Amino acid sequence: MSLFKNKKVLGLTSALVLASMLVGCGGTTPSTSTEDIENNTPEEQVLETDVVVIGAGGAGLASALEVRNAGKEAIILEKMPVVGGNTLRATGGLNAAETSVQSELGIEDSKDKFYEDTMKGGHDKNIPELVKTLTQNAADAVEWLIDLGGDFTNVGRLGGASNDRAHRPEGGDPVGPEVVSTLRTVLEDKGMEVMTNTTATEVLSEDGVVTGVVAEDEEGNELTILADAVIISTGGFGANSEMQVEYNSELEGFGTTNHPGATGDGIKMALELGAGLTQIKEIQTHPTTLPNDGYMITEAVRGNGALLINRDGERFIDEIETRDVVSEAILSQENGTAFLFFNQEIADSLGAIDGYIKRGLTVEGETIEELAETLEIPADKITETVEKYNGFVAAGEDTDFNRADMPRSIEGGKYYAIQVTPSVHHTMGGLTINTDAQVLTEDGEVIEGLFAAGEVVGGVHGGNRLGGNALADIVVFGRIAGQNAAK
Ligand SMILES: Cc1cc2nc3c(=O)[nH]c(=O)nc-3n(C[C@H](O)[C@H](O)[C@H](O)COP(=O)(O)OP(=O)(O)OC[C@H]3O[C@@H](n4cnc5c(N)ncnc54)[C@H](O)[C@@H]3O)c2cc1C
């Protein structure tokens, strides 16, 4: 619901309603003069608070909560009708090493190994200090979410990880909705609401110091919010193909896995203040998305044992290689597509797969022959591929593609396939920040009062983001941004 609905007709009432509703958003003070109210002039739409958070995905919600935990007030703006952004779509997991959950499951992992995997996965292009902050604090982020009531008891492995460290709810259910609902519930318990359908259009500054934000509701009514600090947590630009092509022309014509609000607004607003950009050309495609609409099939399907086969019924890549490598391998197959192939045991191991089956995204067969007929692939070729792979599982070594983790053999039906192709998935480049989540200019100077966290930031993931690292990123840096903005 818009908070400034009917403002033009309500006059005094609208200002009072606005003021009273925003108390629920965190105790704000409308700087509205009686004269302004009576005249119903545009100036009446001015509010004051400690911190404005732009964007209510995981990074924004985590930062707003930390602002409140530090005893300060925040107004949270969200341009979409619903809260959650891309975070709500996240499925596979949240990476963290040395968590209490891993230790209960007997998984021996280390923060150092997590750091090494992340740097290697990002082709060593990542900014080392940011990766250190990420990998050292991700376990705390998981414990924090658990303390807030979240369920992260299932741990699996995603591409490029040398260990099982992708945390998600019991049964392998999608992780993003758990992160969003955990944070949102606590925020609501604290009386903090999100102003949905409200788009930030400009970050204000005076003499190089940030002073607030201008926003607009769905009817075009304008609101100015004065604040001591602003946190940009608007996510990436995975749904803005024009901006993607501007930075990387090879992405012309690609679909996207992203929600429609991922349009790069935060980057554009911060550029107006002289913010620097880090590795803006680095844009990730996700290898396994539906060819017609970019809907993403989580990497955890491969992590839990699925194979990738081509139209000859053959494997062609280590399925759990990094996303850039697997994407390229799929694009070089006939039609630029391939099939995810798995059986009932793999389907039962991951809650997300049940969702895919119920939504009719899979092709099914009681036997390999039945499935092969539908796929128009020779059945004996698929059988040969599966038998060879099962041999690798038994021997503990994949001599064809060197797949390191083969959690189970594929024996017994039903059998399932999903046709997949790569789509734009994550914009790894973005605003330049330091480890305190302060936004820096091109020259490396701090822009006073301006913070950023989440996918809007560049440098954490380098040339390739590992699956599970974005959710760790948004919670770790979201918290840091909130704590520092509150200071
Ligand atoms: C399909 C899918 C699956 C994924 N799975 C995983 C996974 O399993 N593990 C993992 O680690 N990562 C995963 N990711 C990546 C991860 O979800 C995102 O990188 C992360 O959630 C981004 O969080 P964020 O808070 O930075 O941005 P978002 O969650 O996108 O939130 C940003 C919010 O800001 C709002 N906004 C934008 N502009 C404005 C404006 N001008 N004014 C007000 N509001 C604005 C947006 O509408 C949005 O709600 C996945 C991504 C997708 C698309």
| Per-residue pLDDT reduced to its tens digit, 68-83 | 999 999 999 999 999 9
Q: How far is the CA of 466 from the centre of ligand 1 (A)?
A: 15
Q: Are 247 and 208 in contact (CB under 8 A)?
A: no
CATH number of the domain that residue 233 is part of: 3.50.50.60
- Shared domain for 151 and 248, answered yes or no, is yes
**349 shares a domain with 270:** no
The CA distance from 459 to 468, in Å, is 16
Nearest CA to 341 among 394, 395, 386, 404? 386
Contacts of 483 (CB under 8 A, 6+ apart): 66, 69, 70
CATH code, domain carrying 342: 3.90.700.10
Do 292 and 273 fall into the same domain?
Answer: no
All residues at 6 or more sequence positions from 186 whose CB lies less than 8 Å from its CB, including other chains: 65, 148, 149
Q: Flag whether pLDDT at 8 surpasses 70.
A: no
The pLDDT of residue 29 is 42
What's the total number of domains in the chain? 2
pTM of the model: 0.88
Confidence at residue 223, expressed as pLDDT on a 0 to 100 scale: 96
When pLDDT is cut at 50, 70 and 90, the band that residue 126 belongs to is very high
Single out the residue in 424, 448, 463 at which a domain terminates: 424
Measured in angstroms, how far is the CA atom of residue 22 from the centroid of ligand 1?
A: 25
Please state, in angstroms and rounded to a whole number, the distance separating the CA atoms of residues 422 and 296. 9
Q: Tokens for 242?
A: 């024009």
Atom of ligand 1 nearest to the CA of 82: 49
Residue 43 in this model has a pLDDT that exceeds 80: no
Whether 133 is in the pocket of ligand 1, judged by its Cβ within 6 Å, is: no
Residue 413: the pLDDT is 86
Q: Separation of 305 CA from ligand 1 center, angstroms?
A: 27
Cα(83)–Cα(77) distance, rounded to whole angstroms? 10
* Catalytic residue from among 68, 315, 323, 403: 323
Least-confidence region, from 12-26, 118-132, 188-202, 218-232: 12-26
Q: Which residues pair with 215 in a beta bridge?
A: 200, 223
**pLDDT bucket at 9, cuts 50 / 70 / 90:** very low
For position 6, what pLDDT does the model report? Answer: 27
For the Cβ of 91 lying below 6 angstroms from any atom of ligand 1, the answer is yes
pLDDT in tens, 329-379: 999 999 999 999 999 999 999 999 999 999 999 999 999 999 999 999 999
Our answer on whether the CB atom of 303 is closer than 6 Å to any ligand 1 atom is no
Looking at the structure, tell me whether residues 123 and 269 fall in a common domain.
Answer: yes
Is there a single domain that holds both residue 23 and residue 138? yes
**323 labelled catalytic:** yes
For ligand 1, whether the C-beta of 455 sits within 6 Å is yes
Q: Is the CB of 176 under 6 A from ligand 1?
A: yes
- Where in the sequence is the domain holding 22, given as residue range(s)? 1-282+428-487
Q: Please tell me whether residues 370 and 462 are part of one structural domain.
A: no
**Same domain for 147 and 40:** yes
| 365 and 460 housed in the same domain | no
Q: Is the pLDDT of residue 13 over 80?
A: no
The answer to whether 96 and 109 have CB atoms below 8 angstroms apart is no
* Confidence category of residue 19, pLDDT binned at 50, 70, 90: very low
Q: How far is the CA of 435 from the centre of ligand 1 (A)?
A: 20
The residue among 79 and 22 whose pLDDT is bigger is: 79
Given a cut of 80, is residue 414 above it in pLDDT?
Answer: yes
Domain boundary, last residue among 424, 440, 466: 424
Say yes or no: 75 and 212 in one domain. yes
Percent over 70 (pLDDT), the chain: 91
